[in-house]
């Protein structure tokens, strides 16, 4: 098995071949990022409930997501 850099995510061939749009591939990639998922869950439960939520644009900018 080849060595993959720590910051590289391998996209399985079936995912790559079945993605019909860039957005579908982006969605899959984001869903594979546990740090992003944890942050979104924390924002939704803790920060939003306390009225301390961050704007979506700020979160998107941090994760290089184009809105």
Residue 53 lies in a domain: yes
Number of domains, the chain: 1
Helix (H, G, I), strand (E, B) or coil at 26: helix
Identify the pLDDT of residue 4.
58
Identify the pLDDT of residue 67.
76
Identify the pLDDT of residue 3.
63
Per-residue pLDDT tens over the stretch 13-34: 998 899 899 888 888 888 888 8
C-alpha 39/C-alpha 43 separation (Å) is 6
Residue 40 lies in a domain: yes
Q: Is residue 46 a contact partner of residue 37, using CB atoms and an 8 Å limit?
A: no
C-alpha 36/C-alpha 38 separation (Å) is 5
Residue 47 lies in a domain: yes
Residue 2 lies in a domain: no
How large is the average pLDDT for residues 3-19?
A: 80
Residue 41 lies in a domain: yes
Q: Where would I find the beta strands (DSSP E) of the chain?
A: none
Residue 35 lies in a domain: yes
Domain extent for 56: 21-62
Per-residue pLDDT tens over the stretch 26-65: 888 888 888 888 887 887 787 767 777 778 888 888 888 8
Residue 45 lies in a domain: yes
| Phi and psi torsions of 24, nearest 5° | -65, -40
């Amino acid at each position: 098995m080849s060595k993959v850099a720590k910051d590289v995510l391998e996209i399985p061939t079936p995912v790559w071949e079945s993605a019909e749009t860039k957005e579908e591939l982006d969605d899959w990639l984001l869903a594979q990022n546990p740090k992003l998922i944890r942050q979104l869950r924390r924002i939704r439960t803790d920060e939003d409930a306390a009225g301390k939520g961050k704007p979506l644009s700020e979160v998107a900018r941090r994760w290089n997501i184009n809105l």
